[in-house]
């Protein structure tokens, strides 16, 4: 009798586990269904962007590379040369990081489109021009974030990031070896078992890296990223607010004029104090002041816009500890605010470190190769998932995994929702999917509950 009861209990436990497995599989399927097309795009563009400097230098060598000169011409003269070739308002300079690189002068033309003019600092010759977002890796970056297609498609990246976290966590649960199973690839390349094992082995080895990429990419997303930035700053873990206490500021954030470090995107830009009859210090002195303050070579200098504008020197090199932003009064030359990586709060430093690793900048070629392998794994997982789905799909159907018991489905759905809750857009999309799935299968769920 006791053996029969024990067998019944064991059978009930096995059935419960099977229903939980089906519920997890169902959410893994939905996560993949919505994420795979985007994940392939993200993996390909992200893998390219890891080598942005190398690719841009090869693609635009005629604009970026120059013969080193021991006596470069004054920066103001070079800007004047650029303006003679491209009339408009000089908005920003990207100074050469090494003597073999050109000066980039970003100019707003009459149609308010920004053009980049490249000038040889030694010869003072214009090398050519491109739209500021026209360099190959800038296009790749905008494709990676879907910003190439506008703000609304860009929001899809935030949704996909959250779904990817769900995809990885559910995948690890599904494919984790059980009952002494070996982690290996079986079968022949044409068979479903081969693709199943290839998917499982790749996912288990690469899952942690993919999860890292998903989490560290989310600070750059629209809604969640903005909320996180404001929350980190409000908690005193972002940029040091006290540095602006004694300085009048504008309502313009630093990130309004182009990409900057995530931590400083929302930091306010100070204003210059106009002095009667005072003349602006000019570009050459502003560059000298920033250099004397110890900013790393290759910094960007945003030029003042209007009577209260300031010179803003920023640099965000591969060495994260050298991140810096310096605001300079355009009349007195006084440094109004100077903030670097060491001034960030602990939370901001952790996020900046994560994003730096994400883009392959933190520890040289090894960082690039590890992230590239993760991108290759994402493409491999996506392809193997599509092959598995194709092999098991019924004619005219989606091949959604079998419907589990209502209690198992509700429990797993609650856990999945908890995973996505921190990301508002992902959580909202998950609720929609859960409601549609429930409504579509409501009769079957009622029958199972009965």
Asked whether residue 187 falls in the same domain as residue 126, the answer is: no
Torsion angle (degrees, nearest 10) of CA 51, 67, 284, 287: 30
Structural contact between residues 368 and 301, judged by C-beta atoms closer than 8 angstroms: no
Q: What is the CATH number of the domain that holds 110?
A: 3.10.450.40
Contacts of 189 (CB under 8 A, 6+ apart): none
Q: What is the pLDDT of residues 135-151, one digit of tens each?
A: 888 889 888 887 777 77
Asked whether residue 26 falls in the same domain as residue 111, the answer is: no
| Residue 360 lies inside a defined structural domain of this protein | no
| Residue 404 lies inside a defined structural domain of this protein | yes
Instruction: Look at 236 and 356; give whichever has higher pLDDT.
Output: 356
Q: What is the pLDDT of residues 85-125, one digit of tens each?
A: 999 999 999 999 999 999 999 999 877 788 999 999 999 99
Instruction: Give pLDDT, residue 318.
Output: 87
Instruction: Give pLDDT, residue 5.
Output: 46
Asked whether residue 283 falls in the same domain as residue 263, the answer is: yes
Least confident of 216-225, 266-275, 438-447: 438-447
* Of 102, 134, 166, the domain-final residue: 134
Least confident of 198-207, 373-382, 386-395, 397-406: 397-406
Instruction: Look at 299 and 153; give whichever has higher pLDDT.
Output: 299
C-alpha span between 185 and 349 (Å, rounded): 40
Instruction: Give pLDDT, residue 374.
Output: 95
Asked whether residue 155 falls in the same domain as residue 183, the answer is: yes
Asked whether residue 260 falls in the same domain as residue 205, the answer is: no
| Domain span including residue 174 | 2-50+148-220+366-449
Instruction: Give pLDDT, residue 298.
Output: 93
Instruction: Give pLDDT, residue 300.
Output: 95
Asked whether residue 374 falls in the same domain as residue 328, the answer is: no
Asked whether residue 259 falls in the same domain as residue 288, the answer is: yes
What average pLDDT does this structure show over 253-272? 84
| Residue 229 lies inside a defined structural domain of this protein | no
What average pLDDT does this structure show over 308-323? 92
* Of 312, 344, 376, the domain-final residue: 344
- For the chain, the domain total comes to 3
Asked whether residue 153 falls in the same domain as residue 128, the answer is: no
Asked whether residue 273 falls in the same domain as residue 322, the answer is: yes
Asked whether residue 337 falls in the same domain as residue 244, the answer is: yes
Q: Which helix (H) or strand (E) holds 325?
A: strand 324-329
Asked whether residue 125 falls in the same domain as residue 104, the answer is: yes
Asked whether residue 249 falls in the same domain as residue 387, the answer is: no
């Amino acid at each position: 009798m006791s053996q029969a009861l024990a067998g019944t209990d064991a059978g009930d436990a096995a059935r419960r586990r099977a229903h939980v497995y089906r519920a997890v599989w169902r959410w893994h399927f939905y996560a993949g269904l919505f994420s795979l097309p985007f994940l392939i795009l993200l993996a390909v563009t992200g893998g390219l962007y890891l080598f942005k400097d190398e690719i841009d230098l090869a693609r635009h060598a005629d604009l970026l590379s120059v013969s080193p000169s021991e006596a470069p011409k004054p920066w103001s003269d070079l800007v004047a040369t650029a303006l003679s070739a491209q009339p408009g308002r000089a908005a920003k300079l990207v100074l050469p990081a090494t003597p073999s690189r050109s000066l980039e002068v970003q100019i707003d033309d009459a149609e308010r489109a920004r053009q980049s003019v490249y000038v040889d600092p030694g010869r003072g010759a214009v090398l050519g021009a491109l739209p500021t977002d026209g360099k190959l890796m800038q296009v790749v970056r905008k494709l990676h974030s879907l910003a190439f297609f506008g703000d609304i498609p860009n929001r899809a990246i935030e949704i996909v990031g959250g779904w990817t976290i769900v995809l990885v966590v559910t995948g690890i649960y599904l494919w984790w070896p059980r009952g002494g199973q070996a982690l290996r690839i079986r079968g022949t390349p044409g068979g479903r078992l081969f693709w199943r094992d290839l998917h499982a082995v790749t996912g288990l080895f690469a899952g942690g890296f993919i999860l890292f990429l998903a989490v560290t990419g989310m600070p750059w997303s629209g809604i969640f990223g903005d909320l996180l930035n404001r929350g980190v700053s409000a908690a005193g873990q972002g940029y040091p607010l006290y540095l602006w206490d004694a300085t009048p500021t504008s309502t313009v954030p630093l990130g309004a004029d182009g990409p900057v470090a995530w931590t400083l995107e929302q930091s306010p830009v100070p204003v210059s104090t106009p002095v009667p009859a005072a003349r602006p210090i000019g570009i050459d002195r502003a560059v000298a002041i920033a250099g004397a303050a110890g900013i790393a070579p290759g910094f960007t200098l945003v030029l003042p816009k209007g009577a209260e504008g300031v010179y803003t020197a920023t640099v965000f090199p591969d060495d994260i500890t050298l991140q810096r932003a310096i605001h300079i009064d355009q009349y007195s030359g006084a440094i109004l605010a100077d903030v670097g990586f060491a001034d960030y709060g602990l939370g901001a430093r952790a996020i900046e470190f994560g994003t730096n690793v994400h883009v392959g900048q933190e520890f040289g070629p090894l960082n690039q190769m590890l992230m590239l392998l993760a991108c290759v794994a994402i493409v491999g997982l996506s392809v193997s998932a599509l092959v598995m789905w194709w092999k098991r799909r019924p004619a005219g159907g989606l091949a959604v995994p079998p419907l589990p018991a209502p209690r198992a489905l509700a429990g797993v759905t609650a856990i999945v929702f908890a995973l996505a809750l921190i990301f508002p857009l992902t959580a909202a999309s998950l609720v929609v999917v859960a409601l549609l799935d429930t409504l579509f299968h409501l009769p079957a769920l009622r029958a199972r509950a009965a």
